[in-house]
Amino acid sequence: MRIRLGFEIAFDCPNPTPMLLMLNVHPSRMADLIIPDHIRSDPGLPISTYIDGFGNRVGRTVLPPGRTRFFTDALIEDSGLPDEVTPYAAIHAVEDLPAETLVYLLGSRYCETDHLSDFAWSQFGHLPADWTRVQAIVDYVHNHITFGYEHASATRTALEAHREGRGVCRDFTHLAITLCRAMNIPARYCNGYLGDIGVPPVPLPMDFSAWFEAYLGGRWYTFDARHNTPRIGRVVVARGRDATDVPLTHAFGTARLAEFKVVTEEEPEVAAAHAHAA
């Protein structure tokens, strides 16, 4: 399967404004790119890149006064398989976890494990120490939070999302991560592209999405508390402890968002061939 992906994002700045861009496909998927996702801008700006402490590609530039538009149009090869499900993957004892996973057990800016630990153990502690427990957490969060773009808040934490029972995909993700970490299950935040491939299309503008990965049975597995079903065509852009580590853009000054468009769709020719074969 080939997936066309890209974006157009524009900002208005009153002054020169340094900015970080976390908009490239994650290095782990770069080999799958058929058409590279080079970020271009109007006006043309020099954009340097580096790899951050979590292994993400980050762009670095300075926006001039006025409007700046960033865009890319890429093509990526994907397996076309849904997220993997391994029902009996075991939860590891903390002492057996690889050292690099331990940071994903700790509380972070949006994930207050100390406030939700007692709740997590009382709610899920009786369940088997395997995939079942993580899936129960995902089920709970999926049913507890009502999704709506009008509920978006840049400062809402997992605890606040739990109390309010509303939010967007990042809130579903933060709460599920927090409950996992509270039960000594490493969990890390992911964002990226997720189109309506293999599911009925949603009559809403396409957006970047957030989900999480939990470390079970010796590897990381994908979980999605908002959609709560295995999905096809998920393309990771960045991973971190929570949304603090993986902002799509971060401005060091005033930068007002003026345009925002995301594209994630199966390439039409391939989609048509699949339909004919079916």
- For position 269, what pLDDT does the model report? 65
28 pLDDT tier (thresholds 50, 70, 90): very high
Task: Please tell me whether residue 17 adopts helix, strand or coil conformation.
Answer: strand
Interval 62-101: pLDDT, tens = 999 999 999 999 999 999 999 999 999 999 999 999 999 9
Interval 72-81: pLDDT, tens = 999 999 999 9
Structure tokens at 175: 């709460």
pTM beyond 0.95: the answer is no
Interval 197-212: pLDDT, tens = 999 887 777 889 999 9
Topology annotation, domain 2-80+247-277: Immunoglobulin-like (2.60.40)
Strand order in the sheet with 17-21: 48-51, 57-63, 17-21, 249-251
| 233 in Cβ contact with 3 (< 8 Å) | yes
Return the domain boundaries, the chain.
Answer: 2-80+247-277, 94-232
Interval 34-51: pLDDT, tens = 999 999 999 999 999 999
Residue whose pair of structure tokens reads 């993580």 in the numeric block:
134
- Decide if pLDDT at 226 tops 50: yes
| Mean pLDDT over each residue of the chain, to the nearest integer | 95
| 247 in Cβ contact with 210 (< 8 Å) | no
What's the whole-number mean pLDDT along residues 120-149?
97
Tell me yes or no: is domain 94-232 CATH 3.90.380.10. no
- For position 268, what pLDDT does the model report? 79
